[in-house]
A and B are shown apart, each in its own frame.
Chain A
């Protein structure tokens, strides 16, 4: 059972995540967008969207720290366990709270503003459900496990997570973790599996290239591709 939950499920989900993105990018470049609904309504969006997005960016960075950086490293640079703990709880709780409030505003907006609601696809609804579950569980863990309990996830969950990528499997580390962490982990992997098929793909188009590219883009009509469609494989022009 542990092996299924903490070895098979993660690998399956990660595979779907990677292969799904490759497939989606090749099949559906046109559908790859944020599907912004700002045009319909911007009063609630102005509040909710930055709260949510900046919150979740902070949460992401927190996870990079917590899951990606081994405990020995932070200790090597002189950050003691207690300092780390206080920092993680404080920053994590604030970021998580912003995310949650932002998300609540956004979901409320999506449900109550008519045009926004009718522009919501089934995939959106499924994604919102899973995303909300992940966020709520995560925030609950931060608060409960750190304030009331003593579970040091950097000795358990983090190690398990890092080793997934090294094919060094330790399902027992996860099996020992508190229920909250287990559920959060499972829900997160569920989200990864869903990711390529939702609007979440826009995360991967975060336009960092904008900071360095020249302002005006010039492009020639492509010699190999004239007209608006790409020739099918095997039918490219030979010149």
Chain B
């Protein structure tokens, strides 16, 4: 047994209202720079829908993740080491910008500067890639709330899987939101695909990061990740991905997306797992067994043997205690309501989801029946094959049994708690029907419905003796790096070359610039453009490419 700790997340999809706050705050924090305009470390997809980048789940086309070879051993779906090197000059399975979308801004200045004229001036969209006028045809959430999905939903690879003949009838439709970040996988195929070995998994907390100094821009990670959560910064020529907000996690704060989530649906905590069994679990022959196999690599943090092994592996005492209180461990292993996203990619994702009961509840309510009654809900779960199969394609490689079980638990909780809330005698047979005790059911309710801040986030800070140099605290003098604060921007070899600026200092310099500059445009020099604050005046460096002569 080799115990390792992993920082993991669970999202409760029933609560997601699709407001995109998480995406926007994440973008503000991490990807509001030139070169990452099209990048959303966090994005929220409406399902059924094509996702972002479009149809990324179609692995026959994009070839992300792992598959089993004929001898039953894991291999990269995109091809082994030799094939990777042979296609390094032009990666045939890398999505191009049109599979994401062409980012744009608006020419706001004409709204105020246009001369008097008969027609109201309009702000025309300008491409952030070429600087030219463009026609907006797609974006990261173009099919939001099923917009236009009568035409496009048929391309949804998940919908296509559950039945070739399923017609997307608007009347009998269902819909839910799926917020996605990098999964910080236990068996990350992005890292395995990186020719330079620049992507690594942090031994302490399992966060998967790209070493910007070692990345050489080979782009294999972009196609290697089945979730398409590594992005290529086209200005710096380096790969970038979700960092699990490691500077915040290190000091015990939740990630930006979780902290700002309006639905308070994200949970963060530690899980302990047995690193020696990861490979075996990821090579489970039958796709349907992958969910169970993934659950089986997690260790019970209350088991004295595990605690002893964890100590031997150098995991600090307070981390083990945090793992015992972890909401993630509870949701995955105790209440068994969280499921992994696409376990069949075999990367062992570490952001899990509680599937939404809402498609079921909505149907029951629409028929005029009591949508709080467990018998009605159980019957509907039996009857509603299409939504359930769809969820199963997402979370259990198509096996409906685990999804059924989760939805029943959620339905049971709903009915059981109604009696309690109305001051009636609670019906102990309801939890028993889904294999839970009354106490467990109440605890699950507490965690899922009340969702107190300190129960949602149990994040042990990185160690105090190291805190002095942690990124977010920045207690070191902000001046003690090349150039001092406020420097940065374009080096002599293109965007961002030269010595990198620490994140905390970069944020500090950017905020100061923004607050003290007289122009409304983003600060020059830094090459970092804050699109949300830019009002269309001026041409901040880095927003538009240099004008080319006609």
Give the interface of A toward B (CB within 8 A). Answer: 24, 27-42, 45-46, 49-50, 52-54, 114-115, 117-119, 121, 123, 197-199, 202, 205, 207, 209-211, 213, 215-221, 226-229, 231-232, 235, 237
17 example contacts (A-B, Cβ-Cβ < 8 A) are as follows A24-B493, A27-B498, A28-B499, A30-B496, A33-B215, A33-B236, A38-B91, A39-B96, A46-B90, A114-B130, A115-B234, A207-B85, A218-B203, A226-B469, A227-B469, A229-B481, A231-B480
In whole angstroms, how far apart are the Cα atoms of A115 and B385 in the complex? 47
Pick the interface stretch among B25-33, B191-199, B296-304, B368-376.
B191-199
Question: Which single member of B85, B219, B496 contacts A38 (CB below 8 Å)?
Answer: B219
- Does B18 touch A at the CB level, under 8 Å? no
Question: Which single member of A27, A41, A50, A211 contacts B85 (CB below 8 Å)?
Answer: A211
B200 touches A219 (CB 8 A): yes
Question: Which single member of A34, A37, A115, A215 contacts B545 (CB below 8 Å)?
Answer: A115
In whole angstroms, how far apart are the Cα atoms of A27 and B504 in the complex? 21
A39 touches B204 (CB 8 A): no
Question: Chain B 215-243, CB within 8 Å of chain A: the 1/0 string?
Answer: 11111000000000000101111100000
Most chain A beta-carbon contacts within 10 A, residue among B130, B216, B232, B501: B216
CB interface residues, B 108-161, toward A, < 8 Å: 129-132
Cβ-closest chain B residue relative to A204: B216
In whole angstroms, how far apart are the Cα atoms of A52 and B485 in the complex? 42
Cβ-closest chain B residue relative to A111: B548
Question: Chain B 520-537, CB within 8 Å of chain A: the 1/0 string?
Answer: 000000000000000000
B466 touches A226 (CB 8 A): yes
In whole angstroms, how far apart are the Cα atoms of A219 and B211 in the complex? 10
Cβ-closest chain A residue relative to B546: A118
Chain B min CB distance to A185 (Å): 27
Chain B min CB distance to A66 (Å): 24
In whole angstroms, how far apart are the Cα atoms of A30 and B500 in the complex? 7
In whole angstroms, how far apart are the Cα atoms of A121 and B493 in the complex? 8
In whole angstroms, how far apart are the Cα atoms of A4 and B390 in the complex? 75
Question: Which single member of A38, A123, A199 contacts B96 (CB below 8 Å)?
Answer: A38
Question: In the assembled complex, which residues on chain A have CB atoms less than 8 Å from the CB atom of B481?
Answer: 229, 232
Interface size class, chain B:
35 or more
In whole angstroms, how far apart are the Cα atoms of A216 and B282 in the complex? 13
Chain B min CB distance to A29 (Å): 4
A227 touches B202 (CB 8 A): no
Question: In the assembled complex, which residues on chain B have CB atoms less than 8 Å from the CB atom of A211?
Answer: 81-82, 85
Question: In the assembled complex, which residues on chain A have CB atoms less than 8 Å from the CB atom of B502?
Answer: 227-229
In whole angstroms, how far apart are the Cα atoms of A210 and B192 in the complex? 9
Chain A min CB distance to B53 (Å): 11
Given known contacts A38-B96, A228-B500, what 12 new A-B pairs fall within 8 Å (CB)?
A27-B498, A30-B498, A31-B496, A36-B217, A46-B92, A207-B85, A209-B196, A210-B195, A226-B469, A227-B476, A228-B503, A232-B482
Question: In the assembled complex, which residues on chain A have CB atoms less than 8 Å from the CB atom of B81?
Answer: 210-211
A36 touches B219 (CB 8 A): yes
Question: In the assembled complex, which residues on chain B have CB atoms less than 8 Å from the CB atom of A118?
Answer: 130-131, 545-546, 548
Question: Which single member of A28, A34, A49, A213 contacts B498 (CB below 8 Å)?
Answer: A28
Chain B min CB distance to A122 (Å): 10
Cβ-closest chain B residue relative to A197: B493
In whole angstroms, how far apart are the Cα atoms of A216 and B192 in the complex? 5
Question: In the assembled complex, which residues on chain A have CB atoms less than 8 Å from the CB atom of B201?
Answer: 216-219
Question: In the assembled complex, which residues on chain B have CB atoms less than 8 Å from the CB atom of A232?
Answer: 480-482
A226 touches B498 (CB 8 A): no
Question: Which single member of A123, A216, A228 contacts B188 (CB below 8 Å)?
Answer: A216
In whole angstroms, how far apart are the Cα atoms of A235 and B468 in the complex? 14
Question: Which single member of A27, A37, A205 contacts B196 (CB below 8 Å)?
Answer: A205
In whole angstroms, how far apart are the Cα atoms of A54 and B234 in the complex? 24
In whole angstroms, how far apart are the Cα atoms of A229 and B213 in the complex? 10
B500 touches A207 (CB 8 A): no
Cβ-closest chain B residue relative to A117: B548
A228 touches B469 (CB 8 A): no
Question: Which single member of A34, A40, A52 contacts B217 (CB below 8 Å)?
Answer: A34
Question: Chain B 452-478, CB within 8 Å of chain A: the 1/0 string?
Answer: 000000000010001011110010100
- Does B187 touch A at the CB level, under 8 Å? yes
Question: In the assembled complex, which residues on chain B have CB atoms less than 8 Å from the CB atom of A121?
Answer: 493-494
Question: In the assembled complex, which residues on chain A have CB atoms less than 8 Å from the CB atom of B492?
Answer: 123, 197
A119 touches B235 (CB 8 A): yes
A202 touches B217 (CB 8 A): yes
Question: In the assembled complex, which residues on chain A have CB atoms less than 8 Å from the CB atom of B476?
Answer: 227
Question: In the assembled complex, which residues on chain B have CB atoms less than 8 Å from the CB atom of A54?
Answer: 89
Question: In the assembled complex, which residues on chain B have CB atoms less than 8 Å from the CB atom of A31?
Answer: 236, 491, 493-494, 496-498
Most chain A beta-carbon contacts within 10 A, residue among B217, B496, B504, B545: B217
Most chain A beta-carbon contacts within 10 A, residue among B130, B204, B235: B130
- Does B94 touch A at the CB level, under 8 Å? yes
- Does B515 touch A at the CB level, under 8 Å? no
A227 touches B496 (CB 8 A): no
Chain B min CB distance to A191 (Å): 17
A202 touches B89 (CB 8 A): no
Cβ-closest chain B residue relative to A113: B130
Question: In the assembled complex, which residues on chain A have CB atoms less than 8 Å from the CB atom of B132?
Answer: 114
Contacts A54-B89, A228-B500; A28 near B130 (Cβ below 8 A): no
A30 touches B236 (CB 8 A): yes
A217 touches B500 (CB 8 A): no
Cβ-closest chain B residue relative to A225: B469
A221 touches B548 (CB 8 A): no
B497 touches A30 (CB 8 A): yes
Question: In the assembled complex, which residues on chain B have CB atoms less than 8 Å from the CB atom of A197?
Answer: 492-493
Chain B min CB distance to A179 (Å): 34
Chain B min CB distance to A98 (Å): 12
In whole angstroms, how far apart are the Cα atoms of A50 and B92 in the complex? 11
B202 touches A219 (CB 8 A): yes
Contacts A210-B81, A221-B204, A229-B481; A36 near B494 (Cβ below 8 A): no
- Does B517 touch A at the CB level, under 8 Å? no
Question: In the assembled complex, which residues on chain A have CB atoms less than 8 Å from the CB atom of B295?
Answer: none
In whole angstroms, how far apart are the Cα atoms of A215 and B75 in the complex? 10
Question: In the assembled complex, which residues on chain B have CB atoms less than 8 Å from the CB atom of A205?
Answer: 196, 216
Chain A min CB distance to B476 (Å): 8
Contacts A35-B237, A49-B90; A40 near B129 (Cβ below 8 A): yes
B470 touches A227 (CB 8 A): yes
Question: In the assembled complex, which residues on chain A have CB atoms less than 8 Å from the CB atom of B471?
Answer: 226-228
In whole angstroms, how far apart are the Cα atoms of A228 and B470 in the complex? 9
Question: In the assembled complex, which residues on chain A have CB atoms less than 8 Å from the CB atom of B493?
Answer: 24, 28, 31, 121, 123, 197-199
Question: Which single member of A32, A123, A215, A231 contacts B216 (CB below 8 Å)?
Answer: A32
In whole angstroms, how far apart are the Cα atoms of A208 and B215 in the complex? 14
